[in-house]
């Protein structure tokens, strides 16, 4: 029995030794073959270990992450999202005053927050204060005139409809734009983040939907009033005398004086078309344009600057059309003015009506001339 156990043990040991020897002789041969095709060696764990250690010791230090972003952010990566620049993590780097090295997105942000917002808001406040001081010092322009005599149509129903439609759209766009741009300074502390966020989201949606209405109505305004806003030699006299704003003496003018023409050409045409074009780009409504981040940022700056200047210009227009000039609001509301009002504020226009060059009733030339209706109490 002992002999059988000894013989079995020797056999097992010899078999084990043979397997080990075979493994030692074949391992070097297999090692010389190299890695298979497509094999990618795993990254050295040292960097990950260092990052993990840094995250534990310095939880707020994101410098290594952003350093990697700066080194490879401009290179387009792989993405399934369609569109331009969707695979680019950040924009190209540019040199910006006050910063050694930053990207174009940060440069745009600095221009918006350090230039457009503070200077634009200050300009609007300055204009409002100047108008208020002028009203306190000067009061309403013009005299009260008896309502008897011939009734002169200053604005047709079509002109008034186009004006009021454009005015309503402009006010909605201006209010929503001011809240979105400046609301965080005077509304956010009062309303809180939740209510202010919902408000700005709703105003942004309103802004986008009212924009096309403003585009159409403004184009109608331009084509409707461009003929009467063409420059004339008498406009230079009005400019030299400042329109009589300080002297109190009205300077003769045609249907629109030089100040109103300046609002039309500068505020309505130039600034209006600037705001429209940039707004269409921001809404991505113009075809065949690559809507890159740089394109949108430039459009935003044009839109913001044009809108601020346009609002400032129309502060004066709204003031003179309401409380700044007697009878101006009633003319746009009813379409008619008295002979005395026309003679005082637009003497050359009144003379053309007296000479028969311009009909006193333009919307219905065949209608008989009517007397001015009595002014309602409080109007």
CATH number at residue 350: 1.20.950.20
The answer to whether position 3 is within a domain reads no
Q: What integer is the mean pLDDT of 366-370?
A: 47
Please check whether residue 255 lies inside any domain of the structure.
yes
Q: Is residue 70 part of a domain?
A: no
* pLDDT digits 0-9 by tens, 148-158: 667 899 999 99
The number of folded domains in the chain is 1
Residue 184 is assigned to a structural domain of this protein: no
pLDDT the model gives residue 9: 42
Q: Does residue 294 fall inside a structural domain?
A: yes
Q: Residue 61 has what pLDDT? A: 75
> Is residue 374 domain-resident?
no
What does the pLDDT read at residue 57?
72
The least confident of 6-15, 65-74, 244-253, 327-336 is 6-15
Boundaries of domain holding 230: 125-154+226-354
Q: What pLDDT score was predicted for residue 81? A: 77
pLDDT confidence of residue 354: 92
Overall average pLDDT of the 94-111 stretch = 69
65 domain residue, yes or no: no
Predicted confidence (pLDDT) per residue in 256-313, tens digit: 999 999 999 999 999 999 999 999 999 988 888 888 888 999 999 999 999 999 999 9
In SS3 terms, the chain reads as: CHHHHHHHHHHHHHHHHHHHHHHHHHHHHHHCCCCCCCCCCCCCHHHHHHHHHHHHHCCCCCHHHHHHHHHHCCCCCCCCCCCCCCCCCCCCEEEECCEEEEEHHHHHHHHHHHHHHHHHHHHHHHHHHHHHHHHHHHCCECCCCCCCCEEEECCCHHHHHHHHHHHHHHHHHHHHHHHHHHHHHHCHHHHCHHHHHHHHHHHHHHHHHHHHHHHHHHHHHHHHHCHHHCCCCHHHHHHHCHHHCCCCCCCCCCCCCHHHHHHHHHHHHHHHHHHHHHHHHHCCCCCCCCCCHHHHHHHHHHHHHHHHHHHHHHHHHHHHHCCCECCHHHHHHHCEEEHHHHHHHCHHHHHHHHCCCCCCCCCCCCCCCCECCCCCCCC
């Amino acid at each position: 029995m002992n002999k059988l156990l000894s013989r079995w043990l020797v056999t097992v040991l010899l078999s084990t030794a043979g397997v080990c020897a075979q493994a030692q002789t074949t391992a070097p041969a297999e090692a010389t073959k190299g890695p298979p095709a497509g094999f990618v060696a795993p990254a050295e764990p040292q960097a990950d270990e260092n990052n993990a250690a840094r995250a534990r010791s310095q939880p707020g230090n994101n410098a290594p992450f952003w350093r990697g972003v700066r080194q490879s952010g401009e290179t387009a990566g792989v993405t399934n999202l369609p569109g331009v620049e969707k695979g680019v993590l950040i924009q190209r780097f540019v040199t910006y005053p006050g910063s050694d090295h930053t990207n174009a997105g940060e440069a745009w942000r600095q221009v918006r927050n350090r230039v457009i917002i503070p200077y634009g808001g200050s300009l609007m406040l300055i204009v409002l204060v100047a108008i208020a001081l002028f009203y306190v010092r000067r009061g309403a322009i013009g005299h009260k005139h008896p309502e008897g005599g011939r009734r002169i149509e200053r604005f047709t129903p079509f002109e008034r409809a186009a004006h009021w439609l454009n005015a309503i759209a402009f006010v909605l766009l201006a209010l929503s734009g001011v809240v979105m741009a400046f609301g965080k300074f005077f509304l956010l502390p009062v309303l809180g983040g939740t209510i202010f966020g919902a408000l700005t989201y709703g105003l942004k949606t309103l802004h986008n939907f009212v924009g096309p209405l403003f585009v159409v109505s403004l184009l109608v305004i331009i084509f409707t009033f461009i003929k009467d806003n063409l420059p004339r030699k008498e406009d230079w006299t009005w400019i030299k005398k400042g329109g009589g704003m300080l002297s109190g003496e009205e300077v003769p003018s045609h249907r629109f004086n030089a100040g109103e023409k300046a609002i039309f050409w500068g505020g309505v045409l130039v600034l209006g078309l600037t705001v429209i074009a940039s707004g269409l780009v921001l809404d991505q409504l113009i075809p065949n344009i690559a809507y890159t981040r740089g394109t949108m940022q430039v459009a935003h700056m044009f839109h913001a600057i044009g809108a601020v200047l346009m609002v400032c210009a129309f502060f004066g227009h709204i003031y003179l059309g309401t409380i700044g000039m007697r009878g101006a609001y009633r003319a746009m509301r009813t379409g008619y003015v008295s002979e005395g009002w026309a003679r005082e504020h637009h003497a050359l226009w009144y003379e053309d009506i007296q000479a028969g060059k311009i009909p006193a009733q333009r919307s219905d030339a065949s209608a008989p001339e009517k007397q001015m209706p009595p002014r309602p109490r409080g109007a």
